[in-house]
Structure 1
Amino acid sequence: MFDDLPPDLERLHTLRVWHAMWVRRIDTKIAAIVKRQAEEDHGRRNRPRPPEWIVELGIGARKPPLQVHAGDCYMAGQRRRPIDRDEARRLITSGLKACTHCRPDVQLRIID
């Protein structure tokens, strides 16, 4: 049985230490992966919902509003802030441009 192992005690101890080192490394890697997956699952479960409506903002100190978008619109720029339904309706009815891709004016049932 186990004829391929060295016959002397010194080399057997060396092999045992070497394998124990690898088992520790493997266990450390397993623990890191389990922790990362738990953090990802926690992040997925606790991710905040996207806003229902957003307003795209311009450049400058005042950052004037440029366009109203649905919260999940892919055409909204990087400068934006969430707004509620009433503010979205107010902005569109006061003349602010509605996005032509997500059509918030249609979703909000605003007729020209």
Structure 2
Amino acid sequence: MFDDLPEDLERLQTLRTWHVMWVQRIDTKIASRRQRLAEEEYGRRHRPATPDWIVELGIGARHPPVQVHAGDCHMAGERRRAVNRTEARRLIAEGLKACGHCRPDVELNVID
């Protein structure tokens, strides 16, 4: 059936060892990929919800608030923190700038 295999035992054992080694490498790669996919799925399922409102923070030791944004606004910078509706309204009412793109002042009914 497999006439292309060598006849001597030593070469057959070498071939078997070689193929076992490759199967182990392939199995390791499959296990690694499955683990990575499981981690990605876990991350998707357990991702925190997007906050309703965020405050963009400035640079410096105290990170002063710079601007109020809707939680899904793509114009917000990297430094930010989530705030609730009451705090967002208060910050805008106290003079903190509202994002001109997502317009949280309109959504929060804060009129200058």
State TM-score, norm by structure 1. 0.92
Match of 2:38 in 1: 38
> 91-100 or 60-69, which moves further after superposition?
60-69
Give the length in aligned residue pairs: 112
Name structure 2 gaps, 5 residues minimum. none
Q: Which runs of 5+ in 1 are unaligned?
A: none
Taking the aligned partners of 1:57 and 1:66, their CA distance within structure 2 comes to 5
Shift of 1:79: 2.0
CA distance in 2 between counterparts of 1:56 and 1:36 reads: 33
CA distance in 2, matches of 1:32, 1:106: 49
Give the CA RMSD over aligned residues: 1.2
Give a deviation string over 1:30-72, Cα, whole Å, max 9, x none.
0110111001100110011122111112222333221100111
Q: Write the mapping of 1:8-87 to structure 2, written as runs, cut at 5 A.
A: 8-87=8-87
Give the TM-score normalised by the residue count of structure 2. Answer: 0.92
**Percent identity over the alignment?**
73
What is the CA–CA distance in structure 1 between the aligned matches of 2:21 and 2:63, rounded to whole Å? 58
SS at match of 1:81: strand
Q: Which moved more, 1:58-67 or 1:101-110?
A: 58-67
